[in-house]
Amino acid sequence: VAERLRVVRRALTYPADAESLRLVREAGGLSKLSPEAREKVRMKEVKPGEWCDDLPAESVEGRLLRGDVERVTVDEPAPVDGAAPMGGRRKVAR
């Protein structure tokens, strides 16, 4: 049994990998990236219904509160990247 994050109502875009996230954090946000760093940052888009287990940690609480994502308990362990949903039991708390 594993707990996973799933996008609920609005498509999300965020840094696609650890290196991109590191660069964004180092700059203090996407809008503050230097032109050189901007070239290196890769973004991903996750649509409603898709997993977003790799959502940046600093964004998780706010997105849960807003109802943009939900925690879902599933029987399968979370894969490394955000793959398509495989079903699961929806937890009451978001």
Partner 1 sequence: MAQSPGKFGSPSGWIIADGYNLTTVKPQQLREKISPNMMPSHGIGDSWEEHTPTGLTKAELGVEGGFFDTGAVASHAALVAGMPSSPQATARVACWGFGGLTIGEFFRGCRGVFQSTYEVLATLGELTKANAEYVIHGQFDAGVILQALTQKSADWNTKTDGASVDYAASTAQVVIPITSNSQANPSVVTTPVPHGLVTGQKVLISGVAGSSPDINGEQAVTVLTTTTFSVAVDTSAGSGGTGGSFVKADTPSGGVAYQHVTEFTGLTGFIGKVRDSPDDTTYADLATFANVTAAPAVEAVEVAGTVDRYLSYDGNVTGTGTITAFGGFARF
> What's the min distance (Å) between Cβ of 8 and partner 1?
11
Q: Which residues bind partner 1 (CB under 8 A)?
A: 10-15, 21, 24-25, 28-33, 35, 38, 41, 43, 55-56, 58-59, 62-63, 66, 68
Interatomic CA distance for residues 92 and 13, integer angstroms: 25
**What is the DSSP track for 38-71?**
HHH--EEEE-TTSB-TTS-HHHHHHHHHHTSEEE
Q: Please, which residue, 29 or 77, has the CB nearer to partner 1?
A: 29
Q: Please, which residue, 11 or 83, has the CB nearer to partner 1?
A: 11
Give the other-Cβ count within 10 Å of 26's Cβ. 11
Q: Please, which residue, 26 or 89, has the CB nearer to partner 1?
A: 26
